[in-house]
Amino acid sequence: MMKDFLPVSAEDMKKRGWDSVDFVYVSGDAYVDHPSFGTAIISRILEANGYRVGIIAQPDWKDENSIDVFGEPRLGFLVSAGNMDSMVNHYSVSKKRRSKDFFTAGGVMGKRPDHATVVYGNLIRRRYKKKPIIIGGIEASLRRLAHYDYWDDSLHRSVLLDSQADILSYGMGEHSVVQIADALDSGIPIEEITFIRGTVYKTKKPPEDCIVLPDYDTLLSDKLKYAESFYTQYCNTDPFSGKTLCEPYDGGVYVVQNPMSKPLTQEEMDAVYALPYMRTYHPCYEKDGGVDAIKEVKFSLISNRGCFGGCSFCALTFHQGRIIQTRSHDSIIEEARTIIKDPDFKGYIHDVGGPTANFRHTSCKKQLEYGVCTNKQCLFPKPCKNLIVDHTDYLSLLRKLRELPGVKKVFIRSGIRFDYIMADPDDTFFKEMCKYHISGQLKVAPEHISDVVLKNLGKPENSVYQAFCKKYANINKSLGKPQYLVPYLMSSHPGSTLKEAIELAEYLRDMHLSPEQVQDFYPTPSTISTCMYYTGVDPRTMKPVYVAKNPHEKAMQRALIQYKNPKNYELVREALLTAHRTDLIGYDKKCLIRPRNGDDINGRRKNTFIEKKQKNLTEAEKKYGISFEKYDSMKKAENNKAKKRNNKKR
């Protein structure tokens, strides 16, 4: 196997002695050959299984010739929007265009289209009418069935239909993509490849043993039916207990979702990360300043996949699943040794983790046989009695990494579950984390402090976070380390009214906190929170949930979290007046803002001289039938004449 980047041009292909490729991989990202990038993993997995793959990164979607770099592939096209959803990549939560794309050389924005999976799929289909198209990646994975699109504020069909693709590989696709490739290589027509886990396909005849969801037209007309359908999908994301789902569309077309792929074994995970990655971006981007996305991961180590945290706003349940998959210590240490040899390495491993850093095993013993519980969460609302809380393995791994020659510091920067730490009766990990793996501050994600909102978020009660804060402070005090907590907070999540937003502002006031980062809730596809946002009900209970949709109200909720920022004064003042909380406008230490000029101590406008003058002018206009300006000019002229007369008399 040649140790080099995969071909990005016909010239590269010929250097390898190839006259064609088996698959063309079309990606919305610049080509970065690193195991933190889906394009790299899938292409290297195929290479390891004997397939020839050519990469077309960020083709010009307005030019059909842009996907002809390698000619017609023998087996088919693979399509991914990239490591990020293209719409999230392009737009902020306020739907404003972002100025920089970290997955593009030089940070240039506009190198990929909106809804990139759909656009690339149609681009290929126009040029190659019959060639198999397999779509995958985070964007396709979370749009595999009918889904709410926040940017259009409408319900979209399965991306499989809109992209004109043949098969969708969802979740982490190492198993499914190889099985698809082997099936095509054996001569099985693409329309007959309906038997692979972790895939979605379209058919005129659905399987007999599937759960039939409401048809797309019903979903369009009835939001409650969509909520029910979504929750059925949510309850069938487990690879062991999940059932086949079928969604009907007009014309007798059915979109069928097979159960999720089985989790990778530790040996399989190790093999994935041992593939011959170049561990950086393709040299063709050097002239443009490189690809910034590599900076965050170049000296980081992925130790696990999956998350049993079950936060409502997170799409991991749909994409990676709730079953934890881990790499062995040997695999991670071997990668660390590779990192240490890099000439740019300065002695700091930036992270050792994954979706949740301190999850290194399944949450209970039964999961690898029976799967996760369908209607229960492992940590919410309280830790399950069957939950295994043990940091021993993770702690052992961190100790081994700290001892490696050339390593000065090993940081933990990916998220940790503070409620999981608090459930551990052994404080050893907590103490060593504070002593060795933090640089002045630890970032955690309580998201909110109102138990009403936390319940909708799928997060533990605020009392758990308060206990964590206290314990964190005590441990750091005993260590003599002045280290702080940086809480990630979310505004406008379903369930949050101005009342709860003000509660959060008061908490920040009392804790003397001034958050620099605030995330306004972003309704991305295939999360429980997004379903709440669209339907106005919690799909788990079908009970109504308050949703802040008005952009101005959302702006007020966000401003309250940063009420000290002078730029937010007007929004904070309006929020307090709207919520009848003028007690928080004043000079008392409990007040959030002070009155401005022209306000009384309760924030209400005084009847100022200007307002009185305006009132007089209005009355004059009615009396004399002339405009404000003319009347004012007339009065000024009369006053000037009177002054002159008075001066002459003197």
DSSP output for 18-78: -SS-SEEEEESS--EESTTSHHHHHHHHHHHTT--EEEEES--TT-GGGG-TT-S-SSEEE
Rounded Cα–Cα distance for residues 449 and 143 (Å) = 31
Domain 266-584's class?
A: alpha beta
Q: In 3-state terms, what secondary structure has residue 405?
A: coil
For the chain, helix (H) and strand (E) counts, in that order, are: 25, 24
Both structure tokens of 16: 């390898």
Question: Under the phi-then-psi rule, with left for phi > 0, alpha for psi from -120 to 50, and beta for the rest, what region is 646?
Answer: alpha
> Token pair of 321, please?
């699943």
CA distances from 26 to 42, 73, 411, 605, 609 (A): 12, 12, 34, 60, 67
Residue 600's contacts (CB-CB under 8 Å, 6 or more residues apart) are 606
Q: How far apart, in whole angstroms, are the C-alpha atoms of residue 364 and residue 390? A: 11
- Residue 506 · residue 465 · CB < 8 Å: no
CA distances from 164 to 132, 167, 172, 319, 526 (A): 10, 9, 22, 22, 21
Backbone angles phi, psi at 29, to 5 degrees: -95, 160
**Of residues 443, 183, 422, 410, the one with CA closest to residue 300:** 410
Tokens 């079928």 label which residue? 246
| Separation of alpha carbons 396 and 329, rounded Å | 9
DSSP label of 446: E
Residue 158 per-residue DSSP state: P
Encode burial over 601-636: b for 16+ CB neighbours within 10 A, e otherwise: eebeeeeeeeeeeeeebeebeeeeeeeeeebeeeee
- Residues 52, 21 contacting (CB under 8 angstroms): yes
| CA 494 to chain CA mean position, Å | 17
Residue keyed to tokens 């928080």:
584
277 with 42: CB under 8 angstroms?
no
Question: Residue 619's pLDDT is what?
Answer: 56
Position 605 scores a pLDDT of 56
Low-confidence stretches of the chain (pLDDT < 50) are 607-614, 617
Domain ranges of the chain: 10-199, 266-584, 609-649
Question: How far apart (Å, rounded) are the C-alpha atoms in residues 116 and 11?
Answer: 27
Of the candidates 45, 49, 3, 43, the one whose C-alpha atom is nearest the C-alpha of residue 24 is 43
511-530 tens-digit pLDDT: 999 887 789 999 999 999 99
The Cα 11–Cα 463 span in angstroms is: 62
- In terms of residues, how long is the chain? 650
For the record, the structure tokens of 85 come out as 């959803």
Fold of 10-199: Rossmann fold (3.40.50)
519, with CB counted inside 10 A (0-12, 13-18, 19+), is middle
Neighbouring-strand partners of residue 602 = none
Q: Decide if 54 contacts 6 (C-beta within 8 A).
A: yes
In this structure, which amino acid lies at residue 460? P
- The domains spanning 10-199 and 266-584 adopt the same CATH topology: no
Residue type, 189: P
Q: Tell me the DSSP string of 193-227.
A: ----TTEEEEESS--TTSEEPPPHHHHHH-HHHHH
Give the DSSP letter of residue 91.
B
- For residue 439, what pLDDT is reported? 87
Q: Residue 603: its pLDDT value, please?
A: 56
Are residues 231 and 219 in contact, defined by beta-carbon separation less than 8 angstroms? no
